Amino acid sequence: MRISVDLNGVPTSLDIEPQEFLLDVLRDDLGLTGAKRSCDTQVCGTCTVLVDGAPVSACSYLAAETDGRAVTTIEGFRETPAFEPIAAAFTRHAALQCGFCTPGMVLTIHALLEDGELTDEPSIRHGLAGNLCRCTGYRSILAAVGELAANRVAAG
């Protein structure tokens, strides 16, 4: 089947199989490997991308469901002004080690900040519960996102 997607801001026509998952299309067909495959069962969040601005687990999300919608991967997000403040906070707080979880983590953080859902540590813990990290112990991530959330609140 053929679908039309706004992929990272570019109108894109894709030939897919009806049962194909979005992560397979992104990584295998399009070479967009920023979204990572780990659990493949909608648990770890490393495959997170945005569909119409909302985070989804691409490993378990049918590509067909994106027809007529906007898909943002980390490759597209890094070209937007919203990327830099998150990247800077992660750098300041050393909030990554291997980086495998980071693309999905960054996209989830962006979406939740936009929705005003990250305001304090409990809300950050809750919001990021679906994005697992094997390296950092989470303290540095919480510090980075806490700073971003505080800046967002201060900016009104």
150 binds ligand FES (CB under 6 A): no
Question: Judged by CB, which is closer to ligand FES: 33, or 119?
Answer: 33
Nearest by Cα to 49 from 31, 67, 61 = 61
96 binds ligand FES (CB under 6 A): yes
Tracing tokens 């112990």 back to the chain, one arrives at 137
Residues 6+ apart with CB under 8 A from 30: 7
Q: Name the 3-class secondary structure at 69.
A: coil
Among 99, 116, 121, 129, binds ligand FES (CB under 6 A): 99
Tracing tokens 């996102």 back to the chain, one arrives at 145
Tracing tokens 């679906």 back to the chain, one arrives at 130
Question: Judged by CB, which is closer to ligand FES: 106, or 148?
Answer: 106
Token pair for residue 100? 């495998």
Question: Judged by CB, which is closer to ligand FES: 119, or 130?
Answer: 130
97 binds ligand FES (CB under 6 A): yes
Which range of residues in 10-18, 77-85, 108-116, 129-137 is near ligand FES by CB under 6 A? 129-137
Contact 97, 136 (CB under 8 A): yes
Question: Judged by CB, which is closer to ligand FES: 89, or 133?
Answer: 133
Which range of residues in 24-32, 36-44, 67-75, 77-85 is near ligand FES by CB under 6 A? 36-44
